[in-house]
Every structure is written in C-alpha cells, then in structure tokens.
Amino acid sequence: MLQTIESINNVVNNFIWGVPAMICIIGVGLYLSLRTGFVQIRKFPYALKTTLGRIFKKKEASDGSMTPFQAVCTALAGTVGTGNIAGVAGAIAIGGPGAVFWMWVSAILGMCTKFTEVTLAVHFRERNRHGDYVGGPMYYIKNGLGKNWRFLAVLYSAFGVLTVFGTGNATQVNTITTAIDTALINFNVISESSTGRLNLILGIVITLLVGMVLLGGIKRIGSVSEKLVPFMALFYIVLALGVVILNIGRVPAVFHDIVYGAFNPSAVTGGVIGSFFLSMKKGVSRGIFSNEAGIGSAPIAAAAAQTDSPATQGLISMMGTIIDTLIICTMTGLTIVITDSWNVGLDGVDVTTRAFQQGLPFNSSIASFILMVCLVFFAFTTILGWDYYSERCLEYLIGQKPKAIKVYRWIYIACVFIGPYMTVKAVWTIADIFNGLMAIPNLIALLALNGVVVAETKKYLDNAKKKF
C-alpha cells in the first residue's frame, strides 16, 4: 500500500515539477525583473540597511499586527527550515553540485518575485472583523482580478490548508527526529532499536512547545520568530563558514564544479548521477522550497505588517530570499561539496551531518549534535510560520469561524506525530507536490497584476527622490 502511494506521489511530482513548471517559475521571475527594472538589484542596499536596522530597533506592533521586521522574521520562520539543510543535501545527492547553481538562479529571480508578491499583498490586504490585517495571494486574486477569478483564490487556499501534511509540518518533524536519533546513537545514548519510543517522546514534547506558541496568536508567533530566527540563522552560518575556512584550498574547485556541473553534470559526477534537466529541476525546486518565492506563503505574513508603503515592505521581505537561499542554502551546499559528502550513498539530513563531521575539527558525535541543535531551531520555527499561513488560508475558505480554526490548529499540532513514521523520500515528494500546486494560481495572479506592482514601485521611487 505504501509503495503504491509513493509511486503515485512520484508520478504527480514529476508532472508538477516538469518542464512547464521550470519555464513558468524562471520565466515569471525574469519577466517581473524586467518589468520592475531589476528592482531587487537596484534597491538591494536599501533593503539590507532597513532590514538590519530593524533588528536593533525596539518597536511594538498594534493589536492584531506585526512590525515590519516581525513580519519578515515570521516569513523567514516559514522558509528557513529543514529545506536549507536536508533539502539542499537531497538536491545535490540527486542532481550533483550543479544543483547549487540553479538554486542561485531561482533566488536572484525569486527576489523580484518575492518583492512582487509582498507588494501586492499589502496593496490588496483587508481588515477582518477583529481588526487584524489579512492578505496574501487569495486576497490579491479576489480584490485584484475580480469575481470571475475567485476560483483561483479558493484553489490556492485549499492547497495552503493541505500543506499541514507536507511542507509545514511532516518534513520538519521527520528531519528533526532523524537528526536527534542519529546524534544520540553516535553518543551511544540509545540503540537503533529504541528510536521508536524516542520519536514518540519527541513528538509529545514538540507538540507541547508548538501549542504553547500557537495558542498565543499572531503577536506571539511574531515575537518568538524575531528572537529565534536571527539567532539560529547566524549560528548556522558561522558553523558552515567554519567548514569552508578550514577547507579554503578546495573552494575554487568547488565553485568550478557548481558552475560547470550546472550545464554538464555528468562531467562533474563521472556520469554516476545527474543530468542537465535533473540538476536544474532539483536546484530550482529546492530553491523554491527553501525561499518560497512564487509560492505566495510569505506575503500572508507580510500583509500583517504595519506599513503604509506596499513597495517598502516588498523590499524588506525580499531580504528573506537572500538570507534563505543565497546565504544559508549556499553555505550548506559548499560544506557538502567541499567534503564530498554528496556522493557516498546517504540521503537527506545524513548528507549534511557527514559534511559537518568531516569538515569541523570536532569529534563526529559533537558535530552531529551541533547540527541537530540547528535543525531543531530551524524546523520548530518553520512549523510556527506554516501554521499561521494555513490558518489564514482556512479563514479565507470558511470565513471567520474561531471554533473551526481552533479545531484545525489542533489537527495541525497533532500531525507532528506523522512525520517520524514517513520515509524521507515520501515526505519530500509530498512537500514538493503541495508547493507546486500553490505556485500555479499565484504565478497567474502575479503576471496578471504586474501593472499594479510597476505603479507601486514608481510611486515608491518618486517619493524616495523627494526626500533627497
């Protein structure tokens, strides 16, 4: 039965992430970049300055809202997760080092896609009956495209609700338990035969911690995210940078393998794995999974930000793609390729674990433990972010029905127990499917409403000129 389900998942996944998807995602990102005059490059200094400045600025959000920085951190909480560690590893193991290059391509173009999404989300957002800002693809489809296109908003919201079984939950928990199991086995704390009982205990603990945060609502999610996300991201980057510095002599060859392998994978992998399309497919899909540009999830959080300028919030949110893919995913990829951990027959988080074990000047058990700590933080915050996304999608479908949303929240928390008992391949396949399905209605909306973004960008640039 499980094999049949897995086979169906693979067929659906290959269809969704086939040639048309690659053309659409890359093509939309390129088109939006041209329409906005590559705003992601021109206004990068402003986005960097503003985002870093908010880290040290104490500002409280009004009831039912987030500060702009909290919105970015909540979005990052949903993106900086196991995809940055296990997902990148899986992409390189299948597509070769060249997959990293295609992650970069998806990130650069994805920066403009993210800018467009968030700008539209703030422009077309609404206030619900509680006074909370609500927005995202379903709202800019409804308010921007009109009633004849509302079926796209319904489809998007339905796929967003179903992510409870993939991106936001199962993948995160599966990777957490795998990493903890590996670390404790290496320390001889437990045996392989006792992992089942351990995973049950972990499920209970994670459920309680997640529940404590989620029951506090949007402001608690934003507060926890702005504290945890910068810390965990910096901690992981420093560790990965340590691997790179200790193996600095190999860096030029690694970049050669990444760039050359993107177009001629078999030459780098020795023909063992990888092809041009497979390398591109895995790189782009993993890049999209990690930064979610084109999927439309981040705009759901960004719409709750206290800001009067849609384009300003778009530029701030754009930094999420840089941090997530161009920095964190790149560091993961470099550690894996530098240590040759991608071609030894391992899968998922085990690939990255081996890279840290080989690259850091610590005992292998200590390196495994350090990575486990990073994974726990990454995955925990992702679970928080995706609960917020899925609840907003459910609210759009059924209206403001607190009891129904509370029931869904408990279902979401309960699904923590599913992750440890699924295979790594099955979990990631399901995640890719839901990501792909969410992207379809969102990309249609971005193309149709690009004129609004161009107008908001011009308005922002004109106002900026007046200040100087």
Instruction: Determine the Cα–Cα distance for residues 74 and 289; give it in Å rounded to an integer.
Output: 16
Question: Is it the case that residue 239 has pLDDT exceeding 80?
Answer: yes
DSSP letter string over 300-352? HHHTTB--S-HHHHHHHHHHHHIIIIIIIIHHHHHHHHHTT-TTSS--THHHH
DSSP letter string over 196-241? HHHHHHHHHHHHHHHHHHHTTHHHHHHHHHHHHHHHHHHHHHHHHH
3-state secondary structure of 133: strand
pLDDT in tens, 144-165: 998 889 999 999 999 888 776 6
Residue 131 confidence (pLDDT): 76
Residue 464 confidence (pLDDT): 64
Average pLDDT (108-118) is: 90
- Cβ atoms of 214 and 384 within 8 Å: the answer is yes
Query: Higher pLDDT residue, 13 or 251?
Result: 251
Return contacts of 207-211, CB within 8 angstroms, 24+ apart: 207/413, 207/414, 207/416, 207/417, 209/380, 210/380, 210/383, 210/384, 210/387, 210/413, 210/416, 211/413
Instruction: Determine the Cα–Cα distance for residues 240 and 243; give it in Å rounded to an integer.
Output: 5
Task: For residue 40, give the nearest of 136, 114, 124 by alpha carbon.
Answer: 114
Query: Higher pLDDT residue, 463 or 125?
Result: 125
Average pLDDT (386-392) is: 83
pLDDT in tens, 323-368: 888 888 899 999 999 998 887 777 777 888 889 888 888 887 788 7
pLDDT in tens, 4-45: 555 655 665 666 666 677 778 788 889 999 998 888 888 888
Residue 40 confidence (pLDDT): 86
The helix (H) or strand (E) run that includes residue 81 is none
- Cβ atoms of 9 and 170 within 8 Å: the answer is no
Question: Is it the case that residue 90 has pLDDT exceeding 90?
Answer: no
What pTM does this model have? 0.80
Query: CB-based contacts of 298: which residues, under 8 Å, 6+ apart?
Result: 75, 78, 79, 114, 117, 118, 292, 317, 320
Task: For residue 195, give the nearest of 172, 171, 179 by alpha carbon.
Answer: 179
pLDDT in tens, 178-221: 778 877 887 778 887 777 778 788 877 877 887 777 776 666 66
Where do the domains of the chain lie, and which CATH numbers do they carry? Answer: 9-47+66-462 (1.20.1740)
Instruction: Give percent of the chain above pLDDT 90.
Output: 16
Question: Any bridge partners for residue 96, and if so which?
Answer: none
Token code pair at residue 351: 């690939």
Average pLDDT (105-129) is: 89
Torsion of CA 249, 251, 256, 262, to 10 degrees: 150
The dihedral built from the CA positions of residue 192, 194, 200 and 202, taken in this order, carries a sign that is: negative
Question: Is it the case that residue 108 has pLDDT exceeding 50?
Answer: yes
Instruction: Determine the Cα–Cα distance for residues 440 and 156; give it in Å rounded to an integer.
Output: 8
Instruction: Determine the Cα–Cα distance for residues 204 and 416; give it in Å rounded to an integer.
Output: 8
Query: Higher pLDDT residue, 127 or 423?
Result: 127
Local confidence band at 409 (pLDDT 50, 70, 90 cut-offs): confident
